[in-house]
């Protein structure tokens, strides 16, 4: 494979740590098909949740681009990738992990620009976990046993029993915006370890790290067509064209249940294999004999980390009556003390919501809660900074009873 140039010389500039466009203006993110970056001509803006400024222009994939990506993936299955053994593929995945380590700072910048999450979180969790996923699945693939044994048949003969492992084929990978790189690698690494080829459709809210991962794949020597990226939206766009494409053998999706239902309907035609993780609505339980200091600290962390935008965050708490008032008072005070602001600030603990549209939805639920009789004990509104962050998508950490 020939080396490819970075998508833009200024794309991963340190300005992105503040959620602002890189020097020289927004960079261009393009789809990656068959080992090269392509641009169908139509563009959309990726807006920073920190400042509301456009940090990237994104080239939206049209239906022919999606079709070309699926065709490239199918071709890769019949090429060198399809002929590799598990140990050889594992070596390629380790090379991907090494290249992720080499591009560590660029990946942090991409994650922060897309999500507005704290730089400290991206550096300690999201990016290290991405590389770790490739290493973990490389080891699983390289050490997977191949069963082979004989048994005696009822007629007195002998039967040879053995396992044959083969890839599913072309896997459509559709990932959400809350942990873009972590969840992307969590799907791509095992798919590649098992010999599949993938077409990735990242969220339109977080297109950067998937684009950068394409550069990483090329630099690590992944054959052309094994990893493809198509940018765009869902219904009537890249997401729908990908999940309904007859050349796709399986779909893995993390996101909201309504989208999962639509994908399942599309996958029914052709009986595609599906893997869904459709979020959660999780309750925490606090009993009267709990260590309340630990319970409050744990509840704050599990409720407000990542702006509360994780499927395993705690959305509601049930507290035993003898400690209810004390716990609620402590939790409310702690919520008011949760720090949020510029992503590069080492002292912040949370982040803005992914977009102003998402913030309006959350604020609408705050209003509905008040109408239905809730008491707002902390937060419940939008913070004011007096600077560029007022154009972002921040909301106050909120406690309602």
CATH number reported for the structural domain that contains residue 343 in this entry: 3.40.309.10
Q: Using the 8-state DSSP alphabet, how is residue 22 labeled?
A: P
CA distance 213 to 227: 9
**277 is an active site residue:** yes
- Does 186 share its domain with 248? yes
- Does 295 share its domain with 333? yes
Report pLDDT for 2: 42
Burial pattern 213-232, b for ≥16 Cβ within 10 A else e, equals bbbbbbbbebbbbbbbbbbb
- For residue 189, give the CATH number of its domain: 3.40.605.10
Averaged pLDDT, 255-259: 90
- Does 230 share its domain with 306? no
Q: Using the 8-state DSSP alphabet, how is residue 277 labeled?
A: E
- Does 294 share its domain with 249? no
Residue 6 resides in a domain: no
Q: Does the pLDDT at position 3 exceed 50?
A: no
Residue 299 resides in a domain: yes
The catalytically annotated residue of 194, 311, 326, 372 is: 311
How crowded is residue 123: how many other Cβ atoms within 10 Å of its Cβ?
Answer: 16
| Stated pTM of the model | 0.91
Total domains, the chain:
2
Residue 153 resides in a domain: no
Report pLDDT for 147: 81
- Does 250 share its domain with 296? no
- Does 20 share its domain with 92? yes
Tokens representing residue 387 in the block: 């600077």
Report pLDDT for 23: 72
- Does 138 share its domain with 205? yes
Residue 158 resides in a domain: no
Using only C-alpha atoms, the chain has a radius of gyration, in whole angstroms, of 23
CA distance 363 to 342: 22
Banded model confidence at residue 11, pLDDT cuts 50, 70, 90: low
Q: Are 212 and 37 in contact (CB under 8 A)?
A: no
pLDDT (tens digit per residue) in 368-398: 999 999 999 999 999 999 999 999 999 999 9
How crowded is residue 237: how many other Cβ atoms within 10 Å of its Cβ?
Answer: 19
Listed residues 277, 307, 336: the one ending a domain: 277
* Domain housing 25: 14-144+164-277
Residue 93 resides in a domain: yes
Averaged pLDDT, 146-172: 91
- Does 227 share its domain with 109? yes
pLDDT (tens digit per residue) in 316-334: 999 999 999 999 999 999 9
Banded model confidence at residue 1, pLDDT cuts 50, 70, 90: very low
Banded model confidence at residue 196, pLDDT cuts 50, 70, 90: very high
The catalytically annotated residue of 53, 57, 277, 396 is: 277
Listed residues 277, 296, 331: the one ending a domain: 277
Q: Does the pLDDT at position 355 exceed 50?
A: yes
- Does 52 share its domain with 30? yes
Residue 4 resides in a domain: no
Residue 152 resides in a domain: no
Averaged pLDDT, 134-139: 97
Tokens representing residue 233 in the block: 């939206």
How crowded is residue 279: how many other Cβ atoms within 10 Å of its Cβ?
Answer: 17
Closest listed residue to residue 108, CA positions, set 212, 236, 186, 242: 212
**88 is an active site residue:** no
Banded model confidence at residue 4, pLDDT cuts 50, 70, 90: low
Report pLDDT for 280: 78
Report pLDDT for 243: 95
Residue 5 resides in a domain: no
How crowded is residue 375: how many other Cβ atoms within 10 Å of its Cβ?
Answer: 11
Q: Which of 14-23, 151-160, 242-251 has the lowest mean pLDDT?
A: 14-23
- Does 247 share its domain with 300? no
Q: Does the pLDDT at position 124 exceed 70?
A: yes
Averaged pLDDT, 297-318: 94
Listed residues 225, 248, 277: the one ending a domain: 277
Report pLDDT for 7: 54
Q: Does the pLDDT at position 269 exceed 90?
A: no
- Does 216 share its domain with 229? yes
- Does 72 share its domain with 116? yes
């Amino acid at each position: 494979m020939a080396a490819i140039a970075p998508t833009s010389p200024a794309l991963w500039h340190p300005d992105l740590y503040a959620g602002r466009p890189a020097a020289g203006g927004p960079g261009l993110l393009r789809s990656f098909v068959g080992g090269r970056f392509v641009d169908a001509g139509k563009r959309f803006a990726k807006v920073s949740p920190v400042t509301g400024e456009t940090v990237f222009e994104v080239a939206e994939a049209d239906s022919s681009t999606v079709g070309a990506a699926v065709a490239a993936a199918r071709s890769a299955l019949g090429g060198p990738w399809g002929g590799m053994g598990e140990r050889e593929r594992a070596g390629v995945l380790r090379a991907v992990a090494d290249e992720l380590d080499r591009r560590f700072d660029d990946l942090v910048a991409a994650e922060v620009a897309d999500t507005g999450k704290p730089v400290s979180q991206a550096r300690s969790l999201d990016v290290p976990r991405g590389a770790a996923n490739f290493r973990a699945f490389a080891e699983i693939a390289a050490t997977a046993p191949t069963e082979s044994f004989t048994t005696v048949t009822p007629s007195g003969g002998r039967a040879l029993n053995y396992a044959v492992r083969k890839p599913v084929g072309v896997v459509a990978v559709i990932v959400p915006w809350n942990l873009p790189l972590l969840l992307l690698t969590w799907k791509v690494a095992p798919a590649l370890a098992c010999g599949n080829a993938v077409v990735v459709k990242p969220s339109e809210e977080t297109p950067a790290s998937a684009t950068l991962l394409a550069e990483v794949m090329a630099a690590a020597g992944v054959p052309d067509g094994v990893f493809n990226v198509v940018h765009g939206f869902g219904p009537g766009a890249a997401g729908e064209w990908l999940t309904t494409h007859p050349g796709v053998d399986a779909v893995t999706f993390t996101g909201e249940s309504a989208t999962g239902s639509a994908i399942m309907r599309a996958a029914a035609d052709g009986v595609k294999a599906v893997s869904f993780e459709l979020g959660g609505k999780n309750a925490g339980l606090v009993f009267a004999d709990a260590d309340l200091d630990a319970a409050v600290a744990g509840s704050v962390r599990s409720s407000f980390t990542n702006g509360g935008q994780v499927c395993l965050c705690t959305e509601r708490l049930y507290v035993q009556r003898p400690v209810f008032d004390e716990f609620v008072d402590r939790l409310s005070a702690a919520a008011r003390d949760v720090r949020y602001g510029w992503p590069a600030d080492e002292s912040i603990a949370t982040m803005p919501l992914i977009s102003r549209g998402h913030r309006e939805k959350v604020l609408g639920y705050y209003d509905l809660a008040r109408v239905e009789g809730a008491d707002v004990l902390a937060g419940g509104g939008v913070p004011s900074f007096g600077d560029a962050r007022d154009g972002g998508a921040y909301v106050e950490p909120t406690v309602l009873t």
